[in-house]
Copies of this chain bind each other. A is one copy, B any other.
Amino acid sequence: MTNKDDSYKFKKVISIGIVSELTGLSQRQIRYYEERKLIFPDRSKGIRKYSFADVEQLMEIADKREEGVPTQEIRREMTKEIREKMLKGQMNAHFRFRS
């Protein structure tokens, strides 16, 4: 039950047009953030597929960009958060759906 609900959040099934609507970001911006390694969609025959978790991530990125934080700084903050979560022993939640 919890596993199933989790899978809804992490399953990569949403194409970029919908992600754009959900986040308010342009497709150009979404692709650029991928180029800057802030987001990692799957690919299905070349077509990008995102999860709801990705959508949330993009919303956080959007907030920080509006504050003027450059992508490189956002990336640093992200890797730092990952590190902290791993220290807390939550690496399971993070990696379980990654591969």
Contact count band on A: 10 to 19
A49 at the interface (CB under 8 A from B): yes
Q: Is the CB of A18 within 8 A of B52?
A: no
Min CB–CB distance A53 → chain B (angstroms): 9
Selected from B9, B14, B17, B22, the residue in CB contact (under 8 A) with A14 is: B14
Which listed residue, B5, B15, B52, touches A15 by the CB 8 Å rule?
B15
| Min CB gap A5→B, angstroms | 6
Q: Are B14 and A52 in contact (CB under 8 A)?
A: no
Residues of B within 8 A of A17 (CB): 44
Could you list which residues of chain A lie within 8 angstroms of chain B, going by C-beta atoms?
Answer: 5, 8-9, 11, 13-15, 17-18, 22, 44, 49, 52
